[in-house]
Structure 1
Amino acid sequence: MIATACTIALGVIGVAQLMNLYRLAVGPDVTDRVLALDTMVINAIALIVLVGILYGTTMYFEAALLFAMVGFVTTVAFCKYLLRGNVIE
């Protein structure tokens, strides 16, 4: 039963990734593209966690945690660059 739920969730999150990819490519503004990129990071984290649940190993959860930290830092850096024009003050 859990394998079926994970398979359905993988498909739904895959569709969400494609929708975010469309918003990233067509987004009317740079801020929309940054938001789409951040949402893609969140969806990728969800995919990694689902694969970890499906395979029953904890290695994927650690990878998802690292990916979340890197995604947060890159989102903050993009936003700082858009607001101020530089990242490091």
Structure 2
Amino acid sequence: MTLATDLMNIALIIAFAVIALAQVLSMVRLVLGPTTGDRILALDTMVINALGLVVLMGISQGVQIYFEVSLLIAMLGFVSTVALARFVLRGDIIE
């Protein structure tokens, strides 16, 4: 193996560890969040962290389908965050 692949593997391992830590910290904020807004923000952050993990999986395995999956996760995360925030503010999603 060359130096470039070794550095890439080390960078991927560090990135996986950092995003996993961010996911755990977001889960702590979800459980301990004093307000509903904190919990909604923690859920949105968890979606973004999951998106990062999927992209890292695609990079590490060299499979392009993970990038399409990440787009689906991003769209579903955005829609669910907007729907949850609207439900908290207005009490209904569809008027």
Same fold at TM > 0.5: yes
1:57 maps to which of 57, 63, 80: 63
Residue 84 of structure 1 deviates from its aligned partner by: 0.5
1:75 maps to which of 75, 78, 81: 81
Residue 2 of structure 1 deviates from its aligned partner by: 1.1
Q: Name the CA distance, whole Å, in 1 between partners of 2:9 and 2:61.
A: 9
The amino acid that maps onto 2:81 is T
Q: Name the CA distance, whole Å, in 2 between partners of 1:50 and 1:6.
A: 7
What is the aligned partner in structure 2 of residue 38 from structure 1? 44
Q: Name the CA distance, whole Å, in 1 between partners of 2:18 and 2:86.
A: 32
**Structure (1 or 2) with the larger CA radius of gyration:** 2
How many residues are matched?
89
Q: Name the CA distance, whole Å, in 2 between partners of 1:10 and 1:43.
A: 10
What is the aligned partner in structure 2 of residue 7 from structure 1? 13
Percent of aligned positions with the same letter in both sequences? 53
Q: Please, which runs of 5 or more residues in structure 1 have no aligned partner?
A: none
Structure 1 stretches of 4+ with a deviation exceeding 6 A read none
Q: Please, which runs of 5 or more residues in structure 2 have no aligned partner?
A: 1-6
Q: Name the CA distance, whole Å, in 2 between partners of 1:62 and 1:16.
A: 23
Q: Name the CA distance, whole Å, in 2 between partners of 1:4 and 1:53.
A: 13
